[in-house]
Amino acid sequence: METLFFLVSKLGWSLVQPDALLLYLLVLCCFLLYRHHFRLARHLLTAVVGLLIILAYLPLGEWMIAPLEHRFAANPVLPDSVDGIITLGGALDPDLSAYWQQAELSNSAEREIAFATLARKYPKARLVMTGGNGSLVNNELREADYLPLFFQQLQLDTTRVVLERDSRNTNENAILSKALVQPRPGEVWVLVTSASHMPRAVGIFCKQGWPVLPWPVDHMTAPNHHPNRF
């Protein structure tokens, strides 16, 4: 069932993501032109151009992400003692890391930096990094296999870190990590992931009976923040 859900979610997103939809509409425009449906092709092409203008000049992505990033406060007050810290994958590219034989980080590198920072703050906490490879093809390389290289650069004791390398999405992050470390009732665990991803992640972990304290990082929105689009 998990594999079926993974395949459906991957294929579904590949069909409905905005850049893919625009490409499909342009292909349809070309097809209509070759079939001499000029009026319909003209209307469709006008709609595509209008959508491109809207996407180029309006921060639609920021407007959608902002409510998610404000769901949990940044830098929350944590208890004096925590039992474990877990961070979700997505901060490292396993293919590039394998080729260059060094930790090649993505735009979500703040996840691992925060993870290492909290690990030093709580030297007795159990540490878990969960991340495999979410690709449908060429998924032999796993993110968790290369993160120790980065942790060594941060001078973090890698022997403290439990690596879960088989998960492909957030649901599997929670299921496989719980089976691996078997957290006990009443333990205090801190979850580190991107702020926009945190609401979904917390919900999934709670569904698995694993309550966590959110530590959101990798924020992308702020009031009066206007990223350069050109």
How buried is residue 103: exposed, middle or buried, by Cβ count under 10 Å (0-12/13-18/19+)? buried
DSSP class of residue 94?
Answer: H
pLDDT of residue 1: 55
H/E stretch holding 206 reads: helix 198-207
What six digits make up the tokens of 210? 């694993």
What six digits make up the tokens of 182? 């078997």
pLDDT of residue 184: 95
pLDDT of residue 149: 86
Running along the chain, 230 residues long, what does each successive block of 10 average in pLDDT?
53 65 89 91 91 84 90 95 95 89 89 94 96 72 88 88 92 94 96 96 96 96 68
d(CA 181, CA 130): 11
pLDDT of residue 106: 86
60: Cα separation from own chain's centroid: 19
The domains located in the chain, with CATH, are 2-58 (no CATH), 74-217 (3.40.50.620)
Residue in the block written with tokens 């490409």: 23
Using CA of residue 141, residue 142, residue 144, residue 147, what is the dihedral sign?
positive
